[in-house]
Structures are given as structure tokens and as C-alpha cells.
């Protein structure tokens, strides 16, 4: 994914104080996610999970956002 190591824009409380700036950063992140063609995006950061989920929802995109531990459990934890 292009710019995969770039911030999603949430930055903890940054999004509360600077919503428009955070949303613009989040949109750039979401555009890169969408351009990758993925259906699921993984992150280990709860703030990123919230931001990317919000951006995808507002854009009407059906991209699942999962914590890396969720994906690990799905792959390696078979009942």
C-alpha cells in the first residue's frame, strides 16, 4: 500500500482539537487503502482503527478494519 507508514490523522486527542485537519489526513490514508484494492486493512493501533473505520463509513466503502491480533487469531487459532 502506498504510504502505508503514514499517520491516519487521529493522533489520540489531535482529532478532537483539529477535526478538519485530522479528517484530511484520514482521507489521504483511506484513498491509499482503497487504491490497494483490499477488503480488509490491519493495524495494531486502536486510534487508527477508529479513524479508518470512520473515514471508510463516511465514504461508503466496505473495507473491514481489524486489529492485527484479530487476523492472527483467525489464521492460527482453529477450534
pTM score:
0.88
Question: 63 and 34 in contact (C-beta within 8 Å)?
Answer: yes
The span from the CA of 62 to the CA of 38, in Å, is: 10
| Cβ neighbourhood burial of 53 (10 Å; 0-12, 13-18, 19+) | middle
pLDDT digit string (tens) for the chain, length 79 residues: 999 999 999 987 888 899 999 999 999 999 999 999 999 999 999 999 999 999 999 999 999 999 999 999 999 987 6
The owner of cell 487503502 is: 33
Amino acid at each position: 500500500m502506498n504510504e502505508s507508514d503514514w499517520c491516519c490523522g487521529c493522533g489520540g486527542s489531535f482529532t478532537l482539537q483539529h477535526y478538519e485537519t485530522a479528517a484530511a489526513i484520514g482521507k489521504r490514508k483511506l484513498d491509499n487503502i482503497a487504491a490497494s484494492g483490499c477488503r480488509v486493512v490491519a493495524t495494531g493501533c486502536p486510534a487508527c482503527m477508529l479513524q479508518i473505520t470512520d473515514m471508510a463509513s463516511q465514504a461508503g466503502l466496505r473495507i473491514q478494519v481489524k486489529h492485527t491480533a484479530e487476523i492472527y487469531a483467525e489464521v492460527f487459532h482453529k477450534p
